[in-house]
Amino acid sequence: MAIQDWLNPEKPETDKPPAQTYGDQRINPAAVVRVGAGEIAPHTIGDEHFAAIRPRNAVLVDVKPCSLAEADRAEDDAFEYEQGVKNALRLLKARGKEEQAAAALHTGRAAYLAIQSNATLQKAKANGRLASHLLAQRGEWAALGYGLERQIDTSTRQVNHRRLQYLGA
């Protein structure tokens, strides 16, 4: 191996990442603040979220006398509605717990990804320090290689000189 090969070893093209990738990022701000379908955020909420909830389509404006059967039916309807509301509140409470659990899971995943990102950076820094250390040794390796090549050349000349001396030709 020639001294130039020691000083300037060729690298395969696949080892060289394009220079523009250093420091680049692929974080899309729109993806960071993207809200899923049906989720509530200031820019997704609509008028329907502020509408009043009523048991009937219209407010009872004109009150008039009614029969006992109508009153009984209204009480039964009110009791049924009240039971339905209690069930709906239980459902909303359960869904709220699911949402809180999903948010905790999302938060945990984001924290894990941050840790993973930090670990990746630490590994890259360690690789960078190793690369710097190894690159600093290139001169010494070149000198070692040059010295060995010089020693081989000197020994080969001495052997050839002795051969010519003793064998004569």
Q: 119 with 160, same domain?
A: no
pLDDT at residue number 21 = 67
pLDDT at residue number 159 = 92
pLDDT at residue number 102 = 94
Query: Measured between alpha carbons, how far is 164 from 100 in angstroms, rounded to an integer?
Result: 92
Q: Supply φ then ψ for residue 40, to 5 degrees.
A: -100, 125
In this prediction, the residues of the chain whose per-residue pLDDT falls under 50 are: none
Domain residue limits at 148: 137-169
Q: 131 with 145, same domain?
A: no
* Spatial contact of 40 and 49, defined as CB atoms under 8 Å apart: yes
Write out the two tokens for 17.
């990442």
pLDDT at residue number 142 = 86
User: Could you tell me if residue 115 is inside a domain?
Assistant: yes
User: Could you tell me if residue 158 is inside a domain?
Assistant: yes
User: Could you tell me if residue 104 is inside a domain?
Assistant: yes
Q: 163 with 109, same domain?
A: no
Query: Measured between alpha carbons, how far is 136 from 128 in angstroms, rounded to an integer?
Result: 12
Q: 85 with 120, same domain?
A: yes
pLDDT at residue number 19 = 58
Provide the number of structural domains found in the chain.
Answer: 2
pLDDT at residue number 167 = 86
Q: 169 with 131, same domain?
A: no
* Spatial contact of 41 and 35, defined as CB atoms under 8 Å apart: yes
Q: Supply φ then ψ for residue 98, to 5 degrees.
A: -60, -45
Query: Measured between alpha carbons, how far is 161 from 153 in angstroms, rounded to an integer?
Result: 12
Write the single-letter amino acid at 154: T
pLDDT at residue number 169 = 63
User: Could you tell me if residue 26 is inside a domain?
Assistant: no
Query: Measured between alpha carbons, how far is 102 from 105 in angstroms, rounded to an integer?
Result: 5
pLDDT at residue number 110 = 95
pLDDT at residue number 51 = 80
